[in-house]
Amino acid sequence: MPRKRVRPEKESIVDLFGDVVQDRESYLYSIAEDDEALRLAREPAPRRDPANANAPAETAPDQAAPAPAERPRPISPLGRRDRPRKAPGAPAAPEPAVAPSSDLSPAEGFAAAAPGGAAQARRHLERLQRARLARARAEQTSGAHARDAWPELLDDRGLWSAVTVVHGALSVLSLGLYRPWMKTETRRVLWSNVQADDEPLEYLGTGAQLFRGLMMALILLGGIVALAWVAAAALGLMSLEALDGALSGSALELESPVRAALPLLAAMAAPALIALLLISPLLPLAAFRGRRYRLSRTRWKGVRFGMEGGGWSLMGLGLLWTPLILASAGLLWPVWRWLREARMTRAMRWGGEPFAFEGGPLPLLLHWLPAWGFLAALGALIAVPGARELAGLGDLPAVAARLGPLTLIALALLILMTATLLLANYRAAEVRLTTRARRLGGAWAECDFSVWHLVDSYMAVSRKNLWPGILVWLLIAAVAAIPMIGAMGAELENPDSGGLVEGLGDALDEKLFGGFHSWRAQGLVLMALVIDYFLSAVFTLWLWTYVYQRRRTEHLLASITLRDVHRLDAVRGRARQRDLEAEGMEEALDLFAV
């Protein structure tokens, strides 16, 4: 008689699906009415003693007092979190023992008594409690009152400014190679000070990830530029003889640099246009992957954001719409922007809840018409002779001579300010309309971001920092003048000694070193140029990153109201996806954004 094979006992459903159960509402268990988690979730909040308003709330006899919320540790300007000091010789906390529980079934009690069974039973109970609490929260949320939230930017007490100065200086000294770490620390400080519904954001990215993406993008861009040069030479649009003649002409005609640069620009125009045609299809892909990386490293209420897909469909959409935009002379630009944002938003998610995007591009197109009309009229006056004749500007040199230099400068400033305001108005409308169109689990946002918020952000650079900025520039000039004074003294002492680099020519020496011929004087001139570059670059980076972007972020968060946030209380996280690469192309091309 064949021996009957005994099948091993199957694993419990909690052990098989525990990672899924803990992240969403669970209906895999029958919960009794006297369950502890459900009873605590449905129990009303304890009342305070009216006789003593400062007394703590009464707690149930079987309920322990809630532990105080742990305050986040501050971040230093160098990006390290300040850890609490540990008293010397303090004994380590013992591991908590697994107490027997009445929730254990007979099989689980046998597993707990077996070697290693206590840990398995503890994990089983923890997963079961998390699943029951998830269902209790879901049932409690279904009857919760409507709740709104107002995002805000908290006071960082100068930490953002210190991070910008310290990491900006390191980025300038390394000629931009340290910039990925600067962006990482800037985002970490900014994210931690953005709060919505009493919960701050968290940034989980690293500088090494951004650096790898930047290096990959630079290698790709270098290959595209080399391919563009080879294609231009193969098509006969550019020759090495023409480029050599342009360079030699630039070296000889230093007295007229604009005229000398024209042959060089003409020789490089064909490779630049070919490289632009090769890079432009990659820009939508770079924007998609850049946002995917930032969302995958952002967490709110303990739940991560994310994006689905690789962005190749967005790249195909860009290839389809580029000829239409060119054929319409830029009129259909906002339609493409709206479709691009809709495709990217519908790929976004927060935990297990996907985003939605509603509405059409017609309102955005109406906001684009004033800016497009002004730019189209300006382009027609410059490029179309018939339009100039119609406007009475047939002979532009004669009109310019008649108006005079001051009138021309005032007219140019007026045109520039008008174009800037119209483009800022469109940009504000784009931010406002796309924010209103997003939906997440029944929650939505109201936004009243306007052009005046952008204007005030730009004015914050000049209005609040005008006189301090002038003082800083004067100090930079004074520090850079110290080596220049030393160079003058060295030149007077020994004017006949050779320079640092021989064979540059007298004209180039005069332009680069300003008439200083000795090696010591030229070294001091180079020192003055390096000091001026370093201090000016750090101060400009501080103005843009801290002053402008902080003001713009304040206005943007103050203009947003999150409606029906209580609908997001039941959202749970998902299993962590594989690590995605950094933004790469967007990191290489976008030099100023955070």
18, 38, 119, 124, 238 from 131: Cα distances, Å:
8, 11, 18, 11, 68
Q: Rounded to an integer, what distance in angstroms lies between the CA atom of residue 171 and that of residue 179?
A: 5
The length of the chain in residues reads: 594
In tens digits, what is the pLDDT along the chain, a chain of 594 residues? 555 444 444 444 444 444 444 443 434 433 443 444 445 444 554 444 444 444 444 444 444 444 444 444 445 444 444 444 444 444 444 444 444 444 444 444 444 454 556 777 777 777 776 666 666 555 555 555 788 999 999 988 889 999 999 999 999 999 888 999 999 999 999 999 999 988 999 999 999 888 988 888 888 888 888 888 888 777 766 655 555 555 555 444 444 555 555 566 666 777 888 888 888 888 898 889 889 999 999 999 989 999 988 888 999 999 999 999 999 999 999 999 999 999 999 999 998 899 999 999 999 999 999 999 999 988 888 777 777 777 777 666 677 777 777 888 888 899 999 999 999 999 999 999 999 999 998 899 999 999 999 988 888 777 666 677 788 888 888 888 887 777 777 766 665 555 555 544 454 455 555 566 676 777 788 888 888 889 999 998 898 888 888 999 999 999 999 999 988 888 887 766 555 666 666 666 554 456
Q: For residue 216, give the nearest of 590, 539, 592, 582 by alpha carbon.
A: 582
| pLDDT for 94 | 44
Tokens representing 592 are 């100023």
As a whole number of angstroms, the distance between CA 234 and CA 508 comes to 34
| Tokens, residue 444 | 């939505």
Rounded CA-CA distance 580/292 in Å is: 8
DSSP string, 259-277: HHHHHHHHHHHHHHHHHHH
d(CA 269, CA 232): 10
Instruction: Report the SS3 class of residue 463.
Output: helix
Interatomic CA distance for residues 554 and 547, integer angstroms: 11
Q: What are phi and psi of 92, to 5 degrees?
A: -70, 150
3-state helix/strand/coil string of 353-372:
EEEEECCCCHHHHHHHHHHH
Q: Is 35 helix (H, G, I), strand (E, B) or coil?
A: coil
Structure tokens at 526: 């180079």
3-state SS class at 92 = coil
**Is residue 334 a contact partner of residue 368, using CB atoms and an 8 Å limit?**
yes
Quote the tokens at residue 457.
């952000």
Listed by start position, the domains of the chain span: 12-25+121-143, 205-279, 293-443
CA distance 349 to 577: 13
d(CA 446, CA 210): 33
pTM (two decimals):
0.69
* Residues in contact with 276: Cβ distance below 8 Å, sequence separation at least 6, in sequence order: none
- Which residue has 């971040």 as its token pair? 75
The closest of 96, 125, 95, 97 to 109, measured between CA atoms, is 125
Sole residue written with tokens 């519908």: 346
What backbone torsions phi and psi does residue 200 show, to the nearest 5 degrees?
-80, 160
d(C-alpha 529, C-alpha 548), whole Å: 27
Amino acid identity, position 136: A
Ranges of H-type helices in 174-304: 179-192, 207-234, 240-252, 257-279, 282-296
What count of Cα atoms within 13 Å lies in the side-chain half-sphere of residue 511?
13
Sheet holding 199-203, edge to edge: 152-153, 194-196, 199-203, 298-300, 303-307, 348-350, 353-357, 438-440, 443-447, 560-563
Using DSSP, state whether 459 is helix, strand or coil.
Answer: helix
Rounded Cα distance, 587 and 246, in Å: 33
Residues 6 or more apart whose CB falls under 8 angstroms from that of 437 comprise: 341, 342, 345, 357, 358, 359
Pairwise CA distance, residues 260 & 376, whole Å? 31
State the pLDDT at residue 59: 43
CA 497 vs. chain centroid, Å, equals 52
